[in-house]
């Protein structure tokens, strides 16, 4: 059997919040064309600013030459009307917030304006694409794709998931697309809420949030243990700051809506931090302060200097929950 696999040369990103600009950037530096769409003009303007910053960082770090950066930058366009954004696209990736009704509305619009052969994907990290399939006349072209942090060359993980409606040729095209970006596709062959690896991360995320929310331990100590044991550049709380605590809360809410189990309800800790404007990296403060979080300081890891008195302060101030 030799199926015809669509080749993806142009990708459209619907949503210019967290992931859309990152995927557009990765596509452009990999030689693909990308268009970026958002209904909020301010989001597009901010996304363009971030993309230009990333090009500057890649130049400074030697990942791109000046000519390469200049050429790649021309491959990213912002688009006005949705039909203009998806015109000529081989793949359209939805990257709007983790709200089912919003995603359904996006795919209804995409079904109306995208060409019949265009592949469609949702970047949802929790919602399976079958929840969106009914919005399309041809759901065989729909699948799940979830990126980690695609603007960094060292971040290569991408999860793909085949729904019961997804044609094999569609998921094979998605697999080839991910490889064309220099990234590694991890494929979930049967649909399940949250993919495979992402469910593993979710189990860690749920437990560490529970431990901190109930006052058993500080997020800093759990992150220290993670860094020391696994040698990663950040721990679970540092990673949640990068993702955005509002996004983390929305994802946890989807699991709760799915199960109805109170243990899956997002912890109050997240609601309190979000209400306080502490969303993570994008607001300059979450579990840590940015742009220079404590966990990047070797003395923090060793509990030296100002971090040596952290336990005393927690014990004698009566603080049992982070941020109190």
Residue pointed to by tokens 């709200």? 99
HEC assignment per residue over 33-57: EEEEECCCHHHHHHHHHHHHHHHHH
Q: Are residues 133 and 155 in the same domain?
A: yes
Asked whether residue 165 is assigned to any structural domain, the reply reads: yes
Count CA within 13 A, CB hemisphere, residue 195. 25
Rounded CA-CA distance 124/98 in Å is 6
| Domain extent at residue 147 | 10-188
Asked whether residue 229 is assigned to any structural domain, the reply reads: yes
Q: Are residues 204 and 183 in the same domain?
A: no
pLDDT band at 289 (very low <50, low <70, confident <90, very high): very high
What pLDDT shows up at residue 324?
41
Q: Are residues 180 and 227 in the same domain?
A: no
**What is the radius of gyration, based on Cα positions, of the chain?**
21
Last residue of a domain, one of 167, 188, 209: 188
pLDDT-above-90 percentage for the chain: 81
Rounded CA-CA distance 165/60 in Å is 45
What pLDDT shows up at residue 198?
86
Per the structure, how many domains does the chain have? 2
What pLDDT shows up at residue 230?
94
Q: Are residues 167 and 25 in the same domain?
A: yes
Q: Are residues 62 and 167 in the same domain?
A: yes
**129 contacts 142 by C-beta, under 8 angstroms:** yes
pLDDT band at 1 (very low <50, low <70, confident <90, very high): low
Residue pointed to by tokens 């399940």? 192
What pLDDT shows up at residue 40?
93
Q: Are residues 151 and 289 in the same domain?
A: no
Q: Taking residues 289-317, what's their average pLDDT?
A: 90
pLDDT, tens digit (0-9, with 9 covering 90-100), for 50-94: 999 999 999 999 999 999 999 999 999 998 899 999 999 999 999
Last residue of a domain, one of 133, 162, 188: 188
Rounded CA-CA distance 107/109 in Å is 5
CATH code for position 287: 1.10.1040.10
* Residue 57 burial (CB count, 10 A): 13
Q: Are residues 174 and 260 in the same domain?
A: no
Rounded CA-CA distance 290/284 in Å is 5
CATH code for position 114: 3.40.50.720
What pLDDT shows up at residue 317?
65
What pLDDT shows up at residue 323?
42
């Amino acid at each position: 059997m030799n199926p015809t696999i669509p080749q993806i040369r142009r990708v459209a990103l619907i949503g210019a919040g967290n992931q859309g600009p990152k995927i557009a950037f990765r596509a452009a530096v990999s030689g693909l064309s990308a268009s970026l769409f958002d209904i909020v003009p301010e989001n597009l303007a901010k996304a363009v600013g971030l993309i230009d910053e990333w090009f500057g960082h890649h130049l400074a770090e030697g990942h791109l030459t000046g000519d390469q950066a200049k050429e790649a930058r021309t491959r990213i366009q912002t688009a006005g009307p949705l039909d203009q954004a998806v015109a000529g696209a081989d793949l359209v990736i939805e990257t709007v917030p983790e709200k089912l009704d919003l995603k359904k509305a996006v795919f209804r619009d995409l079904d109306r304006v995208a060409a019949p052969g265009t592949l469609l994907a949702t970047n949802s990290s929790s919602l399976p694409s079958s929840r969106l399939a009914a919005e399309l006349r041809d759901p065989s072209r729909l699948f799940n794709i979830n990126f980690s942090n695609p603007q960094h060359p060292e971040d290569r993980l991408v999860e793909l998931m085949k729904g019961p409606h997804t044609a094999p040729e569609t998921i094979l095209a998605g697999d080839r697309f991910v490889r064309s970006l220099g990234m590694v596709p991890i494929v979930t062959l049967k649909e399940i809420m949250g993919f495979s690896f992402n469910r593993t991360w979710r189990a860690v995320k749920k437990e560490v949030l529970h431990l901190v929310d109930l006052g058993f331990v500080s997020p800093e100590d759990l992150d220290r243990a993670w860094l020391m044991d696994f040698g990663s550049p950040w721990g679970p709380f540092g990673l949640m700051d990068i993702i955005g605590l509002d996004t983390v809360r929305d994802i946890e809410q989807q699991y709760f809506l799915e199960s109805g189990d109170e243990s899956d309800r997002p912890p109050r800790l997240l609601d309190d931090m979000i209400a306080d404007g502490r969303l993570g990296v994008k607001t300059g403060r979450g579990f840590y302060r940015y742009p220079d979080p404590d966990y990047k300081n070797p003395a923090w890891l060793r509990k030296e200097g100002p971090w040596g008195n952290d336990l005393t302060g927690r014990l004698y101030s009566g603080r049992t929950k982070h941020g109190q």
